Amino acid sequence: MTETVTVELGKRSYRIDIGAGLIEGAGEVVTAQRPGVRCAIVTDDNVDAAHGDALRASLDKAGIGHTTLSVPPGEPSKCYAMFEKVVNGLLEARLERGDLVLALGGGVVGDLAGFAASVTRRGMDFVQIPTSLLAQVDSSVGGKTGINAPAGKNLVGAFHQPVLVLADTGALATLPPREFRAGYAEVAKYGLIDRPDFFQWLEKNSDEVFAFGPALAQAIAASCRAKAEIVVADETEKGQRALLNLGHTFAHALEGACGYDGARLVHGEAVAIGLVLAHEFSNRMNLCDADTVVRVCDHLKKVGLPTKIGDIPGPRLDADTLSRFIAQDKKVKRGRLTFILTKGLGQSYIADDVPPDEVLAFLKEKLTPSGNNLS
């Protein structure tokens, strides 16, 4: 059974289909929306091996011409070199402005393919076909596309909405357990932003989510509805949409300090640590009670996610390096730090002008041997 969530953006509205077998049926859906269209599948080598043939067979069955552009898996592919490769590949395939880019993969592929689509021929439409839990509940929805720069994560990009999202829950069965767990951090985030009832539901139903039971599709749909509501209210992140970055200011700094090395830290793991840090920092600022911090940490730990900076393997990180990455965060306005903080479970808010000295002192505390954020 397929569940549908709609992102209501007027003439640019699009639906998110959630269910099993959607990759195998993609050709029929695409040709119904765009008769006579040609497509470029942008994917990575691992996803292509797992799902590329099924998508190509579906396009062939629908009589849709297609080409495939594949990049290496992992965060390092969100870079200028791979962006250039994809754009040139679209042009060399002689795809026209009215053709479609199909982003088949996780968040890296979706961000990269969407950004390439946004600029090629001054804007091509694209379809998100997310194959990771993180992408299905977060990065495939809302139109944020982009690549990383040496100065920080996602600093180069564009808002470019997809025309359709096909979230095939069957594809999640091929994910390594670590990647599935990482995606769950983004699911939990929606409860912690402003849906405490959803977080409570996750506390009761996370075992079924991880067992690929009916609760999995329910959690994905609830997450997509939560994100869609915020995106509709603030499409280009002038205000309320920044709430979706709960935990992400810390998370992006951790990823940058680790050199975007997925062996050490993947995005969802960084988000899990970032969610705990955001609640701990809120507690330090006398905004959030300690019981809420413990509850958040315990749930993420229960599902196997890291919750401390000390959980990250490899060389020890330092507060000054993390602070430099935080200073490059997209939410910085004229040098002032903006964080998403919380007053309790599901009570997050946008905090402007957070004192940099407070953040640095907090990070130094977390990184001292006596800090409570070390193993």
Element housing 364 (H / E): helix 356-366
Average pLDDT over residues 17-42: 96
Provide the pLDDT for residue 290.
97
- The active-site residue out of 189, 252, 264, 279 is 252
Q: Which domain, by its residues, includes 265?
A: 177-366
Instruction: Report the pLDDT value the prediction gives residue 333, as an integer from 0 to 100.
Output: 63
More confident: 329 or 23: 23
pLDDT of residue 16: 98
Has 160 been annotated as catalytic? no
| Domain co-membership, 220 together with 341 | yes
Q: Is residue 373 part of a domain?
A: no
Structure tokens at 196: 């405490």
* Residue in 144, 153, 189, 299 annotated catalytic: 144
| The domain boundary residue, chosen from 107, 135, 168 | 168
| 118 has a pLDDT exceeding 50 | yes
Among residues 34, 227, 264, 366, the one annotated as catalytic is 227
Closest of 193, 189, 194, 157 to residue 202, by C-alpha: 189
Of the residues 51, 189, 225, 241, only one is catalytic, namely: 241
Q: What is the pTM of this model?
A: 0.91
Of 168, 186, 210, the position where a domain reaches its end is: 168
Q: Is residue 248 flagged as an active site residue?
A: yes
- Give the pLDDT band (50/70/90) at residue 152: confident
Mean pLDDT of the residues in the chain? 94
Out of 189, 195, 248, 299, pick the active-site residue: 248
Tokens 């954020």 belong to 373
Residue 349 within a domain: yes
Q: Are 66 and 93 within one domain?
A: yes
Residue, of 229 and 356, whose pLDDT is higher: 229
Residues 311-348 pLDDT 10s: 999 999 999 999 999 987 655 666 678 899 999 999 99
What are the counts of helices (DSSP H) followed by strands (DSSP E) for the chain? Answer: 14, 11
| Whether pLDDT at 375 is above 50 | no
**With contact defined as beta carbons under 8 Å apart, do 272 and 306 qualify?**
yes
- 355 pLDDT exceeds 90? no
Asked if 66 is an active-site residue, the reply is no
- In this structure, how many other beta carbons lie within 10 angstroms of the beta carbon of residue 224? 26
85 within some domain? yes
Number of Cβ within a 10 Å radius of residue 271: 31
CA distance 303 to 125: 37
- Per-residue pLDDT reduced to its tens digit, 243-297: 999 999 999 999 999 998 999 999 999 999 999 999 999 999 999 999 999 999 9
The predicted pLDDT at position 374 comes to: 43
Assess whether 245 carries a catalytic annotation.
Answer: yes
Active site residue 237: yes
Mean pLDDT for 134-156 is: 93
Q: Which of 237, 255, 269, 280 is catalytic?
A: 237
Q: Of 113, 144, 168, which one is at a domain's C-terminal end? A: 168
What is the share, in percent, of the chain residues with pLDDT greater than 70?
Answer: 96
pLDDT in the model for residue 238:
82
- How many Å separate Cα 151 from the centre of its chain? 19
